[in-house]
Amino acid sequence: MPGEKIYRAPLHRRLRPLFFLSPTLIILLSITFFPLLYSLYLASHTVILTNPMLEGWSLQDNLREVFLESPEYWDSFVTTLILVISVVAIEFVLGLMLAYFFFNSFRGRDLLFPFFLMPMMLTPVVVGTIWRFLFNGEFGLIAGLLKALGVVNYSILNEPSTALIGVVIADVWQWTPFMLLLLLAGMRALPQSPFEAAQVDGANSFQIFRDIMLPMMKPIIVIALLIRTIDAFNRMFDIIYIMTNGGPGRVTETLAVMAFRSSFEYFFMHQGAIIALSMLVLITIMTKLLSRFMNVQKGD
């Protein structure tokens, strides 16, 4: 009503939650804010570790050097997109199939389910090492199977035409369980009444899955795809560095590998900082899309 005063708590009461959160905020700022500022400094100056006398403000020159005069950046960008799109698409299809498989009740389901989650529990370095040995052309398990077919000393990681396939196989093996968990949780959260009504009307399992379950799962599917895309874009370093180190040549070099090489192998710190910041911008855009979609779903 007009004339009524809105009650506002005293300032010390409004700042009390911030006081209790301050230790965590200080730690988070210390490990994120300073590296971000230092990356901005590196990106705007010429910083070459083998020639420290070249330091100076050169933001425009650095941007032109990376984005306009370096075709390697766009090659790595395309490689990153190919890998991210490939692994996310395959993981989604396999995760959806496995989620529907475990959604149905059968004997031994609770005993079998943890084994499908085990790859996700491993670190990417361990996964990369495992698959590097499996793909080894001399003593790897896959090489042994190929020898039985008459193919000797062949490794898909050593061939430019197949190296990306090996990386995709390793990433899919590790992160398909993540999709499985998200999609299975979404399936189990659905109301059962539409499925029971469809069964009464004579619909078979495939029709129920296609016409009822998938449309109802659209929000969780979009969220799972966005989360996994952001995660895949950010994680395309560990497995590749262990398995191929960006090779053969530069076939499997992603933006993360290129940033690492520019900074710590070629010692052009300003180039590595610009590449890393460009990845940060892309991840921020994808995060904003995810946040906007979740807000729209919450409003609906």
The answer to whether residue 3 scores a pLDDT higher than 60 is no
Distance CA(253)–CA(245), nearest Å, equals 7
The CATH topology of domain 62-299 is MetI-like fold (1.10.3720)
- Phi, psi angles (nearest 5°) of residue 268: -90, 85
* Residue 300 confidence class, pLDDT cut points 50, 70, 90: low
Beta bridge partners of 45: 57
Cβ–Cβ contacts within 10 Å for residue 37, how many? 10
* Residue 286 confidence class, pLDDT cut points 50, 70, 90: confident
Delimit the domains of the chain by residue range: 62-299
User: What is the pTM assigned to this prediction?
Assistant: 0.85
Give pLDDT, residue 299: 60
On the 0-12 / 13-18 / 19+ scale of CB atoms within 10 A, 256 is buried
Give pLDDT, residue 178: 93
Give pLDDT, residue 21: 85
Q: pLDDT tens across 91-126, in order?
A: 999 999 999 999 888 888 888 999 999 999 999 899
* Residue 2 confidence class, pLDDT cut points 50, 70, 90: low
Distance CA(202)–CA(77), nearest Å, equals 50
